[in-house]
Structure 1
């Protein structure tokens, strides 16, 4: 009888720990300062689709305008193809590695259809879409507020971009109808040089 009570208590404690670990935001990342940033442009192809992620510069001034773009191009045999996606097929999760912060890229998820014409790129500019909650650490909240209101502060950034879409409106898409093309790019933000 005592063994049953002990097992129930252990089960209860295990469940509590699992719930607590799910509630704690995991926004910090570790990095090797000697490792180089990814290049300023990356391209990946899967089947008849090419996904390109790029930034026009390797280095930007703090809180200045950035030029980061995602492109998706259909290169198959048909004149055009319909793709189905959330509010956009492009995701731009962000990592700032000197502060060890990761920011997701939340998006509304209606089912939207876009027609891609052969060899014509669908292009979208990066816009910040992250957020925070009252459970996040103060340093994370302050960093996100800065990104939302002012732009990129000094640091080393990696965009873990992806293009996610299907070529069918059916929810149970097979592997040849569901696409998740991923690429990383990097850039640095520095204080502008003044004389």
Structure 2
């Protein structure tokens, strides 16, 4: 009986410790009237979204590329508010970019270090993040995946229809009310023979 009681105590303690840790990691201070999440964002056009004083864009320099041609993609986060500059905090970058190839239904995410970095955004001047293949995927089992992975890792986009998604996660720490932002926007392009 004593053994079971001690085991139950240990399991309950671990359970409480784990749930508190996860809760603390995910805790974000948000004012109750804050309009800073994706659901309250305004879509400016198909490749950009605005949330309060911030605009996130996902840009491909062309809608269609030829196999072997350099594909130029980047995301831009711009502060469009009234102040000359503001300070945001974020992980290694305020923007992460993922890739999905529609024909094969294969997607590649991104991994980001989680230090707390601050960046000053000046009014009208965008922070830009160029797309670089990360190789992070949840499906590495089939031949088609391996072929696509190897080509993208070598910097070559094979024939296909692609969707790039930029996700911005950052906190505006300029005012006394720290506001957390989560924004997302996508763009698509084709690579043809």
TM-score over 0.5 (shorter chain): yes
Runs of 4+ in 1 over 3 A off after TM superposition: 131-138
In structure 1, the partner of 2:147 is 142
Matches within 5 A, 1:20-59: 42-59=47-64
* Number of aligned residue pairs: 147
1:128 aligned onto 2:133: yes
Between the aligned partners of 1:53 and 1:133, the Cα distance in structure 2 is 23
Matched, 1:186 2:188: yes
| Counterparts of 1:83 and 1:160, CA distance in 2 | 21
In structure 1, distance between residues paired with 2:47 and 2:137: 29
Q: For 2:164 and 2:138, locate their aligned partners in 1 and report how far apart those are by CA, in whole Å.
A: 22
Q: For residues 58-137 of structure 1, what are the structure 2 equivalents within 5 Å?
A: 58-131=63-136, 136-137=141-142
Evaluate the alpha carbon distance shift between residue 57 and residue 41 of structure 1 in structure 2; reply closer, same or farther with a 3 A threshold: farther
| TM score, norm. by length of structure 1 | 0.68
Question: What runs of 5+ residues in structure 2 fail to find an aligned partner?
Answer: 1-44
TM-score by length of 2: 0.69
Distance 1:42 1:138 in 2: 32
Map of 2:169 onto structure 1 = 164
Identify unmatched segments of 5+ residues in structure 1.
1-39
Determine if the alignment matches structure 1 residue 177 to structure 2 residue 182: no
Query: Matches of 1:81 and 1:112 in 2, distance apart?
Result: 14
Cα distance in 2 for residues equivalent to 1:97 and 1:134: 14
